[in-house]
Amino acid sequence: MTHLDFSVNVDHVATLRNARGGSFPCPVEAARVAVAAGADGVTLHLREDRRHIRDRDVERVRAEIAAPLNFEMAATGEMVAFAERIRPPYCCLVPEKRAELTTEGGLDVLRAGPFLREAVQRLRAADVRVSIFIEADPAQIEAAARIGAQAIELHTGTYAEGPLANRDAQLARLKAGATAARAAGLLCHAGHGLSYDTVGAIAAMPEVTEVSIGHFLVSQAVFEGLDATVRRFRAIMDAARAA
């Protein structure tokens, strides 16, 4: 069984910091704790409005944290230029709307204009491994492969945050997406809305090579501590993977 990489998203440590306009709690310090507790990587989403992560946070994580940075970004000229300067090992292209609370759905690769392909090419030319956040739809997955992405990240929000009664059907849809991704020669990542209750079924899919978890993890850390929360996620994923 391939190793399942666990990338910890610390965006909401920055949300808390920004609530008071100071420097505490520090997302870079959170990244350090998460990696020491067993995270394989760190995810940061630099949004156009800088509502949580700021440019300096990305620069510092890149410079100070040895584990790979997965840089989440919209496919805009500003963000591609930023990534070309920072050169994160991994990038995940996401749709971004100003008014949304969080990323609401996958990128529509089929209907995207030529800039998406150009963004993928520019990032790859800067030695960045490019992933695209999409729905588990085989047509979208094949389109991601056609424009040169090396990975896709399956949107798990509908499964993880939807009604309990729909979970099996949503898991079957994600499994089909994961299979389609591997058949298209892509790495398959997964994320959005995952919690202790929902991560196991995703970790049990051998096609999935990386999960990215943020909001629940940072929230749970308020009660359990960040170190313990990362360790508990790791244990749940390892047990599900081995079963």
Catalytic residue list: 45, 72, 192
Decide if residue 94 touches ligand PXP (CB under 6 A).
yes
Residue 3 C-beta: closest distance to ligand PXP, Å = 19
When binding is defined by CB under 6 A, the residue of 5, 72, 207, 210 that contacts ligand PXP is 72
Residue pair 141/186 in contact by the 8 Å Cβ criterion: yes
Q: Do the beta carbons of residue 61 and residue 28 sit within 8 Å?
A: yes
Is residue 215 within the footprint of ligand PXP (CB under 6 A)?
Answer: yes
Cα–Cα distances in Å, from 179 out to 10, 56, 82, 232? 29, 38, 33, 27
Q: Would you count residue 233 as binding ligand PXP (CB under 6 A)?
A: no
Residue in 92, 128, 136, 186 binding ligand PXP, rule: CB under 6 A: 92
Q: Does 129 bind ligand PXP (CB under 6 A)?
A: no
Question: CB of 89: closest distance to ligand PXP in angstroms?
Answer: 16
State yes or no: residue 103 binds ligand PXP (CB under 6 A).
yes
* Candidate residues 32, 45, 47, 62; the one interacting with ligand PXP per rule CB under 6 A: 45
For ligand PXP, the binding residue among 25, 88, 177, 191 (CB under 6 A) is 191
* Interface residue list for ligand PXP (CB under 6 A): 9, 11, 45, 72, 92, 94, 102-103, 133, 153, 191-194, 212-216
